[in-house]
Structure 1
Amino acid sequence: MRLAEGKDCLTVLDFVGNSRPEYDFESKFRALIGKTTTSVQKEIEDDFPHLPLGCSVILEKKAKETILENIKRATSLNVNQLIAKIRNFKHQTTLPLTLENFISLNHLSIET
């Protein structure tokens, strides 16, 4: 692929592998995606429709499953993680910070 005519380079990142369960995939992908009105989970499920022009992320099926499972498991937050997510909300989306938007973007539930 990197030798294709007109192709300057190919960058392959393999950071899924045997990652620790507490590894934060969500913030890594949010940095790639930038501000959107959708969650990182939805971006991954839909094969990254909001990446900058000329960029693409292609995940192997197993890597995609691992990352999505990691993000789903990470929804149990401690107080410090919750505060960090609230502070970073404006950097992750163009949506206004409301309870509904926060819960939706972070795939959280307010049920006990």
Structure 2
Amino acid sequence: MADLSEFTEKISDSEQRQRLEGLFAWIKENFPQLETVIKWNQPMFTDHGTFIIGFSVSKKHMSIAPETVTLAAFKKDIEKAGYEHTDNIFKITWTQEIDFSLLKKIIDYNIQEKIDYTKFWRE
């Protein structure tokens, strides 16, 4: 399991760092079966070796990558939450609330959809 503190220590803004640490703690508490990995300098959570969700940060927001299939499935919910998105990620600005119920649905969806999946990414 990767040490997320190596990632979060690089975030210079203490409020942003604490917010991300809280988000990661929430994931670990609610999804203890997920393994944490750092790939391409981004923290990701996997289940039985397959990608479930990944994160990156910028000055103005955090980006959440659940894979395009999942993002498309939750596009309306993401928009309803007020988050910007592309086909690959959605963004939560540092001033927006994190919709944990939406995040839980997204993670649950990926876990269930990929329960028998053996590759890291969907094809």
When normalised by structure 2's length, the TM-score is: 0.21
Of structures 1 and 2, the one with the larger relative CO (CA 8 A, separation 6+) is: 1
TM-score (norm 1): 0.22
Greater helix share, 1 or 2? 1
Larger Rg computed on CA atoms: 1
